[in-house]
Amino acid sequence: MKIVDGFILKSIVDTNIVVPVGSNSVSFNAIISLNDSGAFLWKQLENEQSEESLLAAMLAEYDVDEATAKADIREFLNSMRQADLLK
């Protein structure tokens, strides 16, 4: 899975915001802000990733147990799917 084209992550005064670009800026009527771990996952998903590779990256980057990381990744992916931001 991967983030769809037409969206970028911007950091504005310590806030991570997903910004639509191109034709998406007309049709996407939402603001998505991400915490640091969400921004980390977004950056991972700029390239094709599996859920397992996201888990490995999260465990390497953060001091978190595997069960918590899995739950957080699933929640993040579900949110991204609901917003049609994953392909």
Own/partner contacts of 57-64, CB < 8 Å, gap of 24 or more, are 62/37
Q: What is the pTM of this model?
A: 0.89
Greatest Cα pair distance in the chain: 40
Residue range 61-87: average pLDDT?
95
pLDDT digits (tens, 9 = 90+) for 9-52: 999 888 999 988 877 766 777 788 999 999 999 999 999 999 99
What is the mean pLDDT of the segment spanning 56-65? 97
CA distances from 10 to 19, 21, 36, 37, 55 (A): 7, 12, 12, 14, 23
**Is residue 2 domain-resident?**
no
Would you say residue 36 lies in a domain? Answer: yes
Tell me which residue range forms the domain holding 25. 7-82
Report yes or no on 1 lying in a domain.
Answer: no
The distance from CA 29 to its chain's CA centroid, rounded to whole angstroms, is 18
Residue 30 lies in a domain: yes
87 assigned to some structural domain? no
User: What pLDDT does residue 14 have?
Assistant: 87
Compute CA 30 distance to the chain's CA centroid, rounded to the nearest angstrom.
15
Cα gap 83→69, rounded to integer Å: 21
pLDDT at 40: 98
pLDDT digits (tens, 9 = 90+) for 39-50: 999 999 999 999
Residue 56 lies in a domain: yes
Domain count, the chain: 1
